[in-house]
């Protein structure tokens, strides 16, 4: 039996061995990280080690990392921000951020711009980092106070919370190869913040509730491994695989449109649309053939609607409905990419014959 090929890394990355090992070790620690006895201090040490690992990858201070259940919970802080001023959410933001859209609120503080650094459906990077004489920066792009969703970007491209200009940012462990159900809100040091969740005062009162020690341990280990991949150029190889895929498809499918191909993109993401050929149909056909891909963000998959992000980018409904997303990771091979291209092209040919 042919081994299945996983090409849906933007939905979730496979659990890294380093994260699994860290989680298994944390399961043997009995203490509550808020307890002062030896067992509690051992649990606290796991949490703080992971906090430092997340901070290293994100280019921030450990004290600026607040552990949450994921990026969606972290984005809920925008509801409180909206009480103090206007929140402007970009059309291409992920649903977790878009759901906080409330243009009617006004107040004393300046407008907060909420946006995704990299789009999960197309891979397009908004305001890509630039390296100048003084190091990396995002230029003068962010004149407003800023909330960044870096869930897809962190660990895949150069990015640092400190030089990004953002006041807050959110990310999830499972996009990095960590466990599902844990993430972080980054809050710039000194920023007045009321807190995500009231209760026992954990996370310095910013997010109460006993910490998910096992999940946090896996998150930290995944961040450390992601930093290693960045340092060793793993994503340069992945970008070459994406280009091999797109060249193979473009050479034989003249009507297929590659979304964002002329814009800065994540190295692992290819979004292409074939007008008239439903993305959901393509996903099912590829699944039966042994390939896991998607027709858009996992949070919006299964909903019968024209993709909001693609419409915002100017695609007509017929084209947007024909979009497919292929996203790769460090374990993806050239053989897998070429096998997918061959299979997809066979189905595309059949679609053309039926449509003729």
Beta strands (DSSP E) in the chain are: 5-6, 65-68, 85-89, 109-116, 130-132, 135-137, 145-149, 168-172, 183-187, 257-258, 269-273, 291-292, 323-327
Report the alpha-carbon distance of residue 141 to residue 163 in Å, rounded: 12
Burial 185-201 (b: 16+ CB within 10 A, else e): bbbbeeeebebbbeeee
Helices 213-231 & 38-58 angle (0-180, nearest 10): 30
User: How many secondary structure helices (H) and strands (E) does the chain include?
Assistant: 12, 13
Place of tokens 């991949």: 229
- Tell me which residue of 76, 146, 149 sits closest to 111, measured CA to CA: 146
Residue 222, sorted as left (phi over 0), alpha (psi -120 to 50) or beta, turns out to be alpha
Please give the positions annotated as active site.
299
Longest Cα separation, the chain: 74
d(CA 125, CA 36): 44
216 burial (CB, 10 Å; 0-12 / 13-18 / 19+) is buried
Dihedral pair phi/psi, residue 256, rounded to 5°? -75, 135
Q: What is the DSSP letter of 102?
A: B
For 214, the enclosing helix (H) or strand (E) is: helix 213-231
Asked if 215 and 48 count as a contact pair (C-beta separation under 8 A), the reply is: no
């Amino acid at each position: 039996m042919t081994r299945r090929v996983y090409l849906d890394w933007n939905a979730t990355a496979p659990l890294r061995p380093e994260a699994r090992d860290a989680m298994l070790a944390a399961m043997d620690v009995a203490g509550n990280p808020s307890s002062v006895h030896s067992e509690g201090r051992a649990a606290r040490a796991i949490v703080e080690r992971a906090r430092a690992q997340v901070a290293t990858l994100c280019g921030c201070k450990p004290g600026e990392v607040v552990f949450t259940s994921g990026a969606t919970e972290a984005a809920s802080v925008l509801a409180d921000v909206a009480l103090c001023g206007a929140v402007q959410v970009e059309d291409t933001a992920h649903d977790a951020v878009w759901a906080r859209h409330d243009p009617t609120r006004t107040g004393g503080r300046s407008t907060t711009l909420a946006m995704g650094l990299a789009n999960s459906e197309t891979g397009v990077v908004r305001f890509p980092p630039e390296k100048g004489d003084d190091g990396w920066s995002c230029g003068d792009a962010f004149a407003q106070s800023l909330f960044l969703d870096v869930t897809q970007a962190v660990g895949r491209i150069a990015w640092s919370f400190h030089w990004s200009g953002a006041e807050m940012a959110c990310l999830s462990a499972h996009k990095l190869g960590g466990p599902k159900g844990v993430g972080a809100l980054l809050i710039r040091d000194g920023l007045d913040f009321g807190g995500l969740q009231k209760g026992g005062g954990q996370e310095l009162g910013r997010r109460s509730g006993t910490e998910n020690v096992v999940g946090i341990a896996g998150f930290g280990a995944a961040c450390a491994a992601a930093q290693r991949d960045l340092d060793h150029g793993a994503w340069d190889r992945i970008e070459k695989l994406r280009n091999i895929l797109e060249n193979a498809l473009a050479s034989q499918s003249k009507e297929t449109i590659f979304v964002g191909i002329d814009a800065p993109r994540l190295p692992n993401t290819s979004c292409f649309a074939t007008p008239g050929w439903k993305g959901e149909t393509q996903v099912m056909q590829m699944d039966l053939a042994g390939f896991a891909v998607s027709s858009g963000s996992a949070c919006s998959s299964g909903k019968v609607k024209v993709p909001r992000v693609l419409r915002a980018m100017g695609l007509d409904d017929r084209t947007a409905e024909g979009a497919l997303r292929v996203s790769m990771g460090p374990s993806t091979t050239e053989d897998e990419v070429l096998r997918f291209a061959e299979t997809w092209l066979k189905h595309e040919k059949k679609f053309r014959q039926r449509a003729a």
